Amino acid sequence: MFSRAASYDGFAVRRSWLPTSDRGSAVLLLCVPLALGLICLLGAITVTLMGPMAQGSLRFGLGVFFYAGVAWCTLCAPWYAAGVIGLAWWTKRYGGAEASAQVVLRSLWRMPLATSALAWFPYAFVIPPMHASRFQLCVLLVLAQLVTGYLWAAITRGGLRFWQGV
């Protein structure tokens, strides 16, 4: 009834969910930390629902790992997601849907700067003004956003060079 060929009445049917362009591959690779954050959230919920745990057990170690991931997601992931959305919009606007590799690679180095510019804003106004560590927290969040952003941009750039031959 159905043939194994990837065509239907002469039209090619794309069977893979993986992107074929450099832009799509970069956006997909940049979304991996967000997916890992979601997995950490689900893991933290699961570990919590399992009840009390002994300190030093494997479940305790997994709980610490999952809660560290949730803490990262709470502090950095919203601005990282905004940076990924900004990169996707920027490369589509200035490079088209099939953006050239150079536009994508240049945009990868700009994304962490944009995310760190956004990261400090809510924490500067949410923490009570009398709190002494308000400025320290803002500086720490900007640095954390820069480090995680540039680290993952480098990993994404390496993945693009390896898999796509950019």
| DSSP helix/strand/coil, 145 | helix
Q: Which amino acid is at 36?
A: L
- Arithmetic mean of pLDDT, 100-127: 76
Q: pLDDT per residue over 38-83, tens digit each?
A: 999 999 999 888 888 888 888 888 888 899 888 877 777 788 888 8
Structure tokens belonging to residue 85: 């959305």
Pair type for strands 7-8 and 11-12: antiparallel
CB 33 within 8 A of CB 77: yes
Beta bridge partners of 7: 12
pLDDT (average), residues 94-102: 66
Residue with tokens 């494997």: 58
Residues 81, 34: contact at Cβ < 8 Å? yes
DSSP 59-126: HHHHHHHHHHHHHHHHHTHHHHHHHHHHHHHHHHHHH-TT--HHHHHHHHHHHHHHHHHHHHHHHHHH
What pLDDT does residue 39 have?
Answer: 92
Residue 5: pLDDT over 50: no
**DSSP H or E segment with residue 7:** strand 7-8
Question: If you average pLDDT over residues 90-119, what whole number do you get?
Answer: 76
Model-wide pTM > 0.75: no
What pLDDT score does 2 carry?
38
